[in-house]
Amino acid sequence: MKSQARTIRRIRTIAEYHILRGWPEPLHPLIGIIDIANTQPPEKSSENWILDFYQISLKRGIQGKIKYGQNEYDFDEGIMFFMAPGQVFRIEASPGIQSPSGWLMLFHPDILSGTTLARTIAQFEFFQYSQSEALFLSQTEESTMMDLLGLIRREHYEDSDAFSKDIIVSQIGVLLNYANRYYNRQFRSRAQPNGQILERLEDMLVRRLGSEALRSHGLPSVQEVARSLNVTPNYLSGLLRSLTGQSTQQLIQSRIVELAKYKLASTEMSVREIARELGFDYSQSFNKFFKSKTNVSPLAFRRNFQ
């Protein structure tokens, strides 16, 4: 018997989400800050949720585990999740959970209107990471994040004036910059598992670039590569930048250039044949790509070896 498909509920306002979770009415329509110690985990539901606003949570000290997607997490240490509008998610609490602590912050994109952060928030790729790619905080990092959330909360609860919005948005921006720093630390400190991802990526590219698949299917996309490694595209690019200084797309392209150079220098294949073998439909596209990466045309590069 097939399991019943889960329904998806779209939650358009922060006030609506507060009602759904049984929380007090938010003080401001565009931002909500919740003390997790005063909340209960949601009961098991057949619904998935989509929020039309950002969600940042910092949780710790939960005696038990919480299930996010297919992964379970222990909250003895501080852990942060970042979610952008439009993402589907579901939270299931394991039995026996008690003594949670931390903060949950919700903010609508409209609060960023007219600010620098409205233009730059898309650069924080961790908003697109999966729940299995959460940010695990050290004690010092957690203290910094709690201090920042405390500043935002205090500004949120005080009587608003002409400066309130700019102060809150700037504090959110500072928090996101710290998150960027801590994710970079996490990439570097988890050298062994992250190094294994890089090794698997290199192995996959070697197989793909040396097979008929490249000719028939073209260059592998970032999405395809990330899916094969069981990570999200943004997480993979962030990880690779910390390990190699290149994004996923840049790494794929650099391997294509290396292979093209090898074929130009050591075979008698024509430029058109090399282009076809590397997954380019037209030699002009290959010429343009190669020159953009090396500042010389394929034929000019080959002449250096003749």
89 or 225, which is more confident: 225
Sheet of 47-51, strands arranged across: 7-11, 47-51, 88-89
Each as own residue / partner, the long-range contacts of residues 116-122 (CB below 8 Å, 24 or more positions apart, any chain) are 116/173, 117/169, 117/170, 117/172, 117/173, 117/176, 120/173, 121/176
Percentage of the chain beyond pLDDT 90 is: 37
> Parallel, antiparallel, or unpaired: how do β-strands 7-11 and 47-51 relate?
parallel
pLDDT of res. 85: 93
Rounded CA gap, 166 and 103, in Å?
A: 21
Q: Is the pLDDT of residue 109 over 90?
A: yes
99 or 303, which is more confident: 303
Rounded CA gap, 73 and 94, in Å?
A: 10
Among residues 92, 107, 87, 67, the alpha carbon closest in space to that of 8 is found at 87
Q: Which residue has the tokens 């709690």?
A: 146
pLDDT of res. 101: 81
Mean of pLDDT over the chain: 84
Percentage of the chain beyond pLDDT 70 is: 84
pLDDT of res. 68: 46
Evaluate if pTM is beyond 0.75: no
> Parallel, antiparallel, or unpaired: how do β-strands 135-136 and 79-83 relate?
antiparallel
Rounded CA gap, 254 and 290, in Å?
A: 10
pLDDT of res. 180: 94
Give 89's pLDDT tier (boundaries 50, 70, 90): confident
Each residue's pLDDT tens digit, 11-42? 999 999 999 888 999 988 999 999 988 877 66
Domains of the chain, CATH where assigned = 7-189 (2.60.120.280), 193-303 (1.10.10.60)
Each residue's pLDDT tens digit, 201-222? 888 887 887 767 677 777 788 9
Q: Is the pLDDT of residue 130 over 80?
A: no
Mind spelling out the 3-state secondary structure of the chain? CCCCCCEEEEECCHHHHHHHHCCCCCCECCEEEEEHHHCCCCCCCCEEEEECCEEEEEEECEEEEEEECCEEEEECCCEEEEECCCCEECEEECCCCCCCEEEEEEECHHHHCCCHHHHHHHHCHHHHCCHHHCEECCHHHHHHHHHHHHHHHHHHHCCCCCCHHHHHHHHHHHHHHHHHHHHHHHHHHCHHHHHHHHHHHHHHHHHHHCCHHHHHHCCCCHHHHHHHHCCCHHHHHHHHHHHHCCCHHHHHHHHHHHHHHHHHHHCCCCHHHHHHHCCCCCHHHHHHHHHHHHCCCHHHHHHCCC
pLDDT of res. 94: 57
